[in-house]
Amino acid sequence: KYYKRNIIPAKGLFLVAGMDVQKDRFEIEIVAFGRKRECYSVDYRVIHGGPESESAWKKVASLLEEEFEHENSAPMKIIGLGIDSGYATNEVYTFARGYQYPRVIPVKGVESMKQPLGTPNLVDISMSGKTIKRGVKILPVGVSVIKAQYYTYLRHEQWTKGSDIPV
């Protein structure tokens, strides 16, 4: 079944977003999740300006306040935004400190992890070694585990049967 962009499908129960930070832009995917691991890509946004642009961060903040129409119920806001903190780490941490955990959480990919998600760690020391009064929690993500699971799903018979896509 096809569904409209920017509208949460009927089975969508909550809305989250993931953000990648690049030198000149932010790329954000907004996803609704339902029961039994159902997920629906609701929108994909590119915000130009990058981590040094105050106006770009303001647009991210506005996105968190935006209401998305739901097919069968009241509009929803994004309940959580995960931001890849591998690039422009200090800028990501600074933005996240402005929100109560877990509304905005920096994520850090860890190749050696044996599970998809780790325990959030509090970072309360700046790069210069100064103590920060309001630290920020960082969520470690087991990227190897997630990639392996993703590729397993892609090889599943349900997805490959009768498909023209070589797997």
**What is residue 166's predicted lDDT score, i.e. its pLDDT?**
42
Q: Which residues of the chain have pLDDT under 50?
A: 163-167
**What is residue 27's predicted lDDT score, i.e. its pLDDT?**
97
**What is residue 101's predicted lDDT score, i.e. its pLDDT?**
85
CA distances from 70 to 1, 29, 43, 54, 66 (A): 16, 17, 13, 31, 13
Query: For residue 18, how many other CB atoms are within 10 A of its CB?
Result: 15
**What is residue 68's predicted lDDT score, i.e. its pLDDT?**
96
Is residue 23 classed as helix, strand or coil in its secondary structure?
A: coil
